[in-house]
Structure 1
Amino acid sequence: MNKKMVASVSMLLLPWLTVPFLGKSFFRFLPAATFVNLFITVLSVIANRKKWYINKNPLFPNVPIVFTYILGPHFIATLWMFKLTYGSFLKYLVANIVFDWINAFPFAGMWKRMGFFKFKNMSPSMYWCITVFLAIVIYGYQYTVEKVVRNVKAS
């Protein structure tokens, strides 16, 4: 296995080592994390067709989905973001704006220098806007899920 493949597998697996520290929050916020990852997966297929960005080190070369990122850091970071900020929309939004900015700019530049990932027909700013918008959507989704669960438990 080459160095890039080891890095991809590590990116996928290392975030999962933090899951035991999430406790019950893992299951509580699983619907929102799953929902946004489904959306990001569809976006990944579209991005591949439109050449919005290039994944230069895919875990599965013939699959147009960035599984390493989606199932690793993105999924787990979504769960942690909810665990640490859910209940205060303003705190959640500010944390997401900052975290998504770091992801879209410094991290994307780092992935490019390492030869993993490169924005092509999509700017980092556009990616940042999409991820902030999705953060707002999934907060509403999680709020709705919790409201339904409370109503079911009450009846």
Structure 2
Amino acid sequence: MDRLVIWSTFLIPWISLIFLNRLSIRRYMPVALLTAVLNTILAQLAWHYNWWKFKETLFAWDKIAPLFTVYSIFIVGTIWIFYFTFRKFWVYLIVNIIIDLFYGVVFVRILNKLEIRENGIISPIQNLLLMTAIAFILYLYQIWQEKIFENEN
């Protein structure tokens, strides 16, 4: 069961991009890749400081920054969130908080129950604050990126 959840969590987000036009993917891929970089760093901090740990992942070598979260849900989710909310900051912020709460409370509980992940010393509120800080950084980065896109045209 846990392998099915992990593989589904990895593949379904990428498959969802067939419903999005290429221009939008191209436009938001840089911020999505920044998401991966920031979440990789965050995952390394989490591993070192025992904020949380992943016990099951796609491969034996991806336990620190799991592919099915950092390189799937977070990348593709960022593209979708920006597609629907960019240039509407408060909507962006509220959507991010709702999704981060869902991930941090509901999805994490499912992963913990399936023994894919285990909690460490970080609280859900601290995790939400970290994710919100990353959301601010991503939004500022995308504003900067938009200036580059405007200069290209």
TM-score by length of 2: 0.92
Q: 2 CA distance for matches of 1:125 and 1:22?
A: 32
The residue that corresponds to 1:117 in the other structure is 117
Amino acid at match of 2:10: L
The residue that corresponds to 1:52 in the other structure is 51
Q: Runs of 5+ in structure 2 lacking a partner?
A: none
1:44-79 deviation digits (Å, cap 9, x = unpaired): 122112211010212222342221111121111111
| 3-state DSSP of counterpart to 2:53 | strand
Amino acid at match of 2:8: S
Please tell me whether residue 31 in structure 1 is matched to residue 30 in structure 2. Answer: yes
- In the TM superposition, what is the alpha-carbon distance from 1:15 to its structure 2 partner? 1.0
Give the number of equivalent residue pairs.
151
The residue that corresponds to 2:5 in the other structure is 7
Please tell me whether residue 68 in structure 1 is matched to residue 68 in structure 2. Answer: yes
The residue that corresponds to 2:141 in the other structure is 141
1:91-116 deviation digits (Å, cap 9, x = unpaired): 11111111111111121112111211
Q: 2 CA distance for matches of 1:47 and 1:5?
A: 23
Please tell me whether residue 19 in structure 1 is matched to residue 17 in structure 2. Answer: yes
Report the identity percentage: 25
Q: 2 CA distance for matches of 1:56 and 1:50?
A: 16
Q: 2 CA distance for matches of 1:62 and 1:87?
A: 38
Q: Runs of 5+ in structure 1 lacking a partner?
A: none
Amino acid at match of 2:77: A
Instruction: Quote the RMSD (CA, aligned, Å).
Output: 1.3
| 3-state DSSP of counterpart to 1:118 | strand
Q: 2 CA distance for matches of 1:6 and 1:92?
A: 31
Q: 2 CA distance for matches of 1:95 and 1:107?
A: 16
